[in-house]
Amino acid sequence: MKMRGLLISAFAVAIFAASGVAGYQHVRATGAGWREIAWPFPRDGWPAGRAFRCETEVCGSEVEVYLRPEIGFCNCDTGVADDDEVDRVADLDLISERFVPLREGEVIRVADMQGRLRTYDLHLTGGVRHSAIGIAVSRGCDLMVAVAQGTGAAPDVQRVALDFLASRDITRWMTKAMDGG
Amino acid sequence: MNRYVKPAAFLSAFFFLGGSAWAQSQIIQSQVIGAPPEASNMKLVGYSDLQARSAYQPTIHHQGDRWIAYVGHHGGTDEIPDPVNPMTGKAEPNGTSIIDVTDPAHPKYLRHIPGQEGKYEGGGAQMVRVCDGKQLPKGDPNAVYMLRTFGGEAHEIWNVADPVNPALITRIAGLKDTHKNWWECQTGIAFLVSGLPDWRTRRMTMIYDLSDPAHPVKIRDFGLPGQEPGATGAVPTEVHGPISAGPEGNRVYFGYGTDKGGFLQIVDRDKLLNGPKEPTPDNLRYPEISRMPMSAFNGAHTTFPMLKMPIAEFAKDKDGKDRDIVMIVDEEILNECAEPRQMVWFADVTVENRPMMISSYTAREASGGFCDRGGRFGAHSSNESMAPVFYKKMAFISYFNAGVRALDIRDPYHPTEVGYFIPAITAATDKRCVKIDGKDRCKVAIQTNNVETDERGYIYIVDRANTGLHILELTGPARAVAGLP
């Protein structure tokens, strides 16, 4: 397991170095095979979050994950109660306003916060379609939302995204962000 | 005794003995129990503690020869989920307070009607409107009807002709949320902000004919395309509340967004009520005249229309002397300035398909160190009475820890603050907290939540942090703006 992790890290470093993005503002390598990229969306009502990309060589297909806290945006008593709430809050609309859920969502726990996850077919310009995963978890009246999109099948995008969100650095960052850090 | 008094006293002593200038300013910016209110051109007339319940909408009704205040409440707090009603000796979930304010200097608490069990926005009975039975087309002329929310699960109508002994008439239940309703007393048409389980948004609008409150008739459901059942893709932001100009004005002004990505939606009332009703995207678009988007930083809590306002500056202009103005009030959500400032905006909607923001107002942070006082600082709501005493002349804006702000709006292109009143905190005032490194850091400050006026010219402000109801009047130059003696 350790050897596999080392190999993936070494591969990620190689890709990172080769991509020539080391000088990109806010960009840094993080996690096995993932690198942080600039927040790709224009300013909206919430402060920008963090964005990450995993290349095909590591994740099987190119996958991007965007995550940010939305403080004071959750029903303080019920949390993320249903799939409609994931549709509303999970930032899918930043990528495209046209998304169709593939199935009913499921309960999920991320960074010790409970919420829901739902998979989508995301319609992009030019007839391009991506798989997308919307995640919204809450603590008190605050939300942490994440979207993953990729060219692979939804189960594969979901798997690599959840592995990434479960990594120690990302979990720690999400906890700190929800703590007012 | 409030558990924040002792630390405050300790800190006061510490800084008296040589604390830094920075720290002293923090103390000056903290409210103290028993201190006089901060006021300019407004003064306190009377007070009710509202049984230390967190308060939202006040509605003042001239009922026979009496004046009755109906005050909706949020749910209870973590510390006191169900405050004791001293009139019954029982713990009761926050609901609706009924107070006789005929003598505003001596308000008399008449009755508390319990609301939905639950804390903060998860319970209570926030919203309240009142219509006389004799004004409603099919009402009992001897009845006075109070429309209120019951937490997030229902709307209720009570007969409050005898406000000491209200009687429940009707219940519209099965909802996942409710909020700021509007009820036209002359027609009975009610715009009920609700969450229907199959709609994709937490809040949309159910439109009812409540001209006979005992027999509600559903007219239609209304929302934005994308919110309706079965839609996919992005879900537009939720409605906060509408205000109707009635059949004469034939417009309904909907505010969406609360504190983010808000917009004003202008709707043709006749098309809304009589157009196709199936909630399809086309049918939902049909009555819309226009939308005016706001910055993603701001939302629309209250959209208060003031149509055909004569503008003195334009008096000699051949066209455009009178303007249709909508005052839009955002709602600050987060404590201690943790989000973009929520404030007041004035839109000129005379040309309805090209509405334009023309001015804005905010209380000055530096005038009171409000970002450091604790709790929310920013706008929340305005008075909604259209009684001639203040209509198109003055507006009153609840501003949380900056109390209520009185604006001269006779020239809506240049609104001017002419008074304010910030009540003192009491032992009942609840704390407000922010997270610092994962831990709660709490302060106690006034949280003036909502405001209403009556035809006599009294101003009623209520507190979200349990401080009660303050009845105010204007003094000095502010009184002259309203033309009061």
B263 domain-assigned: yes
Interface test with B, best of A84, A99, A122, A144 (most B CBs within 10 A): A84
Residue B446 CA to its chain's centroid (Å): 16
Structure confidence at residue B92 (pLDDT): 98
Which residues of chain B are under the pLDDT cut of 50?
1-28
B445 domain-assigned: no
**Residue A58: pLDDT band by 50, 70, 90 thresholds?**
very high
**Residue A168: pLDDT band by 50, 70, 90 thresholds?**
very high
**Residue A31: pLDDT band by 50, 70, 90 thresholds?**
low
Which chain A residues are within 8 Å of B200, Cβ to Cβ?
Answer: 84, 87-88
CA distance A150 to chain B (A): 18
Q: What structural domains does chain A harbor? A: 2-178 (3.40.1000)
From B231, which residue of chain A is nearest by alpha-carbon distance? Answer: A100
Structure confidence at residue B19 (pLDDT): 37
- Cβ pairs bridging A and B (under 8 Å): 66
Q: Which of B121, B202, B234 sits opposite A76 (nearest CB)?
A: B121
Running DSSP on this structure, what letter comes out for residue B124?
Answer: E
B351 domain-assigned: yes
Running DSSP on this structure, what letter comes out for residue B279?
Answer: -
B181 domain-assigned: yes
Structure confidence at residue B438 (pLDDT): 87
Helix axes A168-178, A154-165, angle to 10 degrees: 70
Contact (CB<8Å) A99/B234: yes
Contact (CB<8Å) A72/B334: yes
Domain housing B149: 57-394
Q: How far apart are CA B322 and CA B100, in angstroms?
A: 39
Contact (CB<8Å) A45/B296: yes
Which chain B residues are within 8 Å of A99, Cβ to Cβ?
Answer: 232-234
Strand A63-70 with A142-150, pairing? antiparallel
Half-sphere exposure in the Cβ direction for B455 (13 Å, CA): 8
CA distance A38 to chain B (A): 21
Better pLDDT: A181 or A37? A37
Contact (CB<8Å) B201/A84: yes
Q: Which residues contact B158 (CB under 8 A, 6 or more apart)?
A: B113, B145, B146, B148, B166, B167, B168, B169
Cα-based distances in Å from B80 to A161, B302, B428, B438: 42, 30, 11, 24
How big, in percent rounded to 5, are the helix, strand and coil portions of chain B? 10, 40, 45
Q: Which of B122, B234, B438 sits opposite A179 (nearest CB)?
A: B438
From A121, which residue of chain B is nearest by alpha-carbon distance? Answer: B233
Pair B104, B471: CB distance under 8 Å: yes
Q: Which of A76, A85, A100 sits opposite B232 (nearest CB)?
A: A100
Structure confidence at residue B12 (pLDDT): 40
Structure confidence at residue B238 (pLDDT): 96
Running DSSP on this structure, what letter comes out for residue B427?
Answer: T
* Number of structural domains found in chain B: 1
Interface test with B, best of A41, A88, A141, A173 (most B CBs within 10 A): A88
- In SS3 terms, chain A reads as CHHHHHHHHHHHHHHHHHHCCCCCCCCCECCCCEEEECCCCCCCCCCCCEEEEECHHHHCCCEEEEEEEECCCCCCCCCCCCHHHHHHHCCHHHHCCCEEECCCCEEEEECCEEEEEEEEEEECHHHCEEEEEEEEEEECCEEEEEEEEECCCHHHHHHHHHHHHCCHHHHHHHHHHHCCC
Which chain A residues are within 8 Å of B118, Cβ to Cβ?
Answer: 77
Pair B378, B340: CB distance under 8 Å: no
Q: Which of A76, A101, A181 sits opposite B232 (nearest CB)?
A: A101
Identify the three-state secondary structure at position B286: coil
Give the count of beta carbons closer than 10 Å to the beta carbon of residue B217: 11
Phi-psi category of residue B428: left, alpha or beta, with phi > 0 → left and psi -120 to 50 → alpha: alpha
Q: Which residues contact B425 (CB under 8 A, 6 or more apart)?
A: B2, B31, B32, B33, B444, B445, B446, B465, B467
Interface test with A, best of B54, B202, B294 (most A CBs within 10 A): B202
Identify the three-state secondary structure at position B180: coil
B89 domain-assigned: yes
Q: Give the full edge-to-edge strand order of the sheet including B288-293.
A: B239-244, B251-256, B263-268, B288-293
Structure confidence at residue B30 (pLDDT): 83
Say whether residue A42 is in contact with chain B using an 8 A CB cutoff: no
Residue (of B178, B83, B185, B195) closest to B139 by Cα position: B185
Domain harbouring B302, CATH code: 2.130.10
**Residue A78: pLDDT band by 50, 70, 90 thresholds?**
confident
Say whether residue A48 is in contact with chain B using an 8 A CB cutoff: no
Say whether residue A126 is in contact with chain B using an 8 A CB cutoff: no
Q: Which of B120, B232, B434 sits opposite A180 (nearest CB)?
A: B434
Q: How far apart are CA A144 and CA A73, in angstroms?
A: 10
Say whether residue A60 is in contact with chain B using an 8 A CB cutoff: no
Identify the three-state secondary structure at position B31: coil
Identify the three-state secondary structure at position B8: helix
Q: How far apart are CA B254 and CA B349, in angstroms?
A: 13
B248 domain-assigned: yes
Say whether residue A94 is in contact with chain B using an 8 A CB cutoff: no
Say whether residue B484 is in contact with chain A using an 8 A CB cutoff: no
Q: How far apart are CA A128 and CA B483, in angstroms?
A: 64
From B259, which residue of chain A is nearest by alpha-carbon distance? Answer: A45
Q: How many residues does chain A have?
A: 181
Contact (CB<8Å) A44/B296: yes
Q: Which of A84, A87, A180 sits opposite B437 (nearest CB)?
A: A180
Q: How far apart are CA B310 and CA B467, in angstroms?
A: 39
Helix axes B21-28, B5-16, angle to 10 degrees: 140
Say whether residue B261 is in contact with chain A using an 8 A CB cutoff: yes
Contact (CB<8Å) B235/A179: no
B138 domain-assigned: yes
Say whether residue A101 is in contact with chain B using an 8 A CB cutoff: yes
Q: How far apart are CA B218 and CA B229, in angstroms?
A: 18
CA distance A158 to chain B (A): 19
Backbone φ and ψ for A164, nearest 5 degrees, come out as -65, -45
Q: Which of B121, B122, B235 sits opposite A87 (nearest CB)?
A: B235
Q: How far apart are CA B383 and CA B179, in angstroms?
A: 16
Strand B344-348 with B322-329, pairing? antiparallel
Contact (CB<8Å) B334/A46: no
Structure confidence at residue B437 (pLDDT): 87
Q: Which of A45, A97, A101 sits opposite B260 (nearest CB)?
A: A45
Residue A89 CA to its chain's centroid (Å): 13
Contact (CB<8Å) A97/B234: yes
